[in-house]
Amino acid sequence: MNPLRAALVLLAAVLAGCATQTKQHPDAERSRGLTPTLERPGLGTSWGEQRESWIGPAPFARSSAERPAAQARIFYNDREGADAMLAFLGGEPKRCEGLHHPAGPLLRVGLRNGNGQWLECRESHARHIVTADHGSRYEVVLRNDARRSVEVVVSVDGLDAMDGKPASLKKRGYVLAPFESLAVSGFRTSASTVAAFRFGGMFDSYGHRRHGNTANAGVVGVAVFDEKRRAIGTDTGDPKSHAWRATATRPPGGTRDFSAPPDA
């Protein structure tokens, strides 16, 4: 690895992403008379096509409001970027394809593509790094391995998967029953639809187009919350106070409190 490449990888690792190659701002910027800027190398997640995904309210009282029982990050990038980050970390990486335990024994997590195939994952120094293909659709698959229900808050590129805004432990997530699995397939746009997760360049990412920020691009985060044993006041009636559960019944429409398109 040449010195310039190594420097790019180090910078991306600090920013919670992975380096690939330096890209120029799209030609559209030049046509508007703006000075071209360097795009941060690597992959981000773009706002994809609308897909059906039904959820309903799920009263769930956390044992601790903002202190999760477990947290984890999964890094992703194209082949060159993933290899570069693993080389920077050093050591001999281990394979972690399919569902694995980056967040401890409570929850297994994995990334798979739109064809249902698990993306290649390698682990080194407690970092899980997934190799992705530009333009492909993906899902974040969760599996509750506990004998009790858990709530899982999912973030992509530093943005909450439920409302598309900066992630926070205060926000509510998905409730999984004991041994239940769930595929989070996009940024939620209503109780019945999501905008599919698709790998893309930094300037095409939802984080850049909606928020002008790619600092956390290339990272999928999960936070797992235990349920309070004696739930008191589990639901106040405020839509922001309850979590959500996958359902087989089509919910009513509406986009309140969910993600907005990047150009909205």
pLDDT in tens, 204-226: 999 999 999 999 999 999 999 99
Computed over every residue of the chain, the mean pLDDT equals 83
| DSSP E strands, the chain | 23-24, 38-39, 43-52, 55-58, 70-77, 94-95, 107-113, 121-124, 127-131, 137-144, 150-156, 159-160, 174-176, 181-184, 186-188, 193-201, 219-226, 243-246
Across 27-33, average pLDDT: 43
The C-alpha atoms of residue 239 and residue 236 are separated, in whole angstroms, by 8
Q: Tokens 């391995």 identify what position?
A: 145
Torsion, Cα of 106, 124, 214, 153 (10° steps): 0
Q: What percent of the chain has pLDDT over 90?
A: 65
- Give me 58's structure tokens: 């799920």
The C-alpha atoms of residue 163 and residue 195 are separated, in whole angstroms, by 11
What does pTM read for this prediction?
A: 0.81
pLDDT value for 38: 54
Q: Tokens 């930094």 identify what position?
A: 202
CB atoms under 10 Å from CB of 258, counted, come to: 18
pLDDT value for 39: 60
Evaluate if residue 252 carries a pLDDT over 90: no
Integer angstrom CA distances of residue 35 from 23, 30, 209, 210, 214: 14, 7, 18, 21, 19
Q: Could you give the angle at which helices 3-14 and 79-89 cross, rounded to 10 degrees?
A: 90
Q: What is the Rg, in whole angstroms, of the alpha carbon atoms belonging to the chain?
A: 19
Q: How confident is the model at residue 41 (pLDDT cuts 50, 70, 90)?
A: confident
pLDDT value for 238: 53
Q: What are the b/e assignments for 52-76, b being 16+ CB within 10 Å?
A: ebebbbbebbbeeeeebbbebbbbb
DSSP 264: -
Across 115-140, average pLDDT: 96
Across 25-33, average pLDDT: 43
Across 7-19, average pLDDT: 39
pLDDT value for 263: 86
Evaluate if residue 81 carries a pLDDT over 50: yes
Q: How confident is the model at residue 33 (pLDDT cuts 50, 70, 90)?
A: very low
pLDDT value for 133: 95
- Give me 176's structure tokens: 């999984």
- Give me 62's structure tokens: 């956390």
Taken as a whole, the chain contains a residue count of 264
pLDDT value for 254: 57
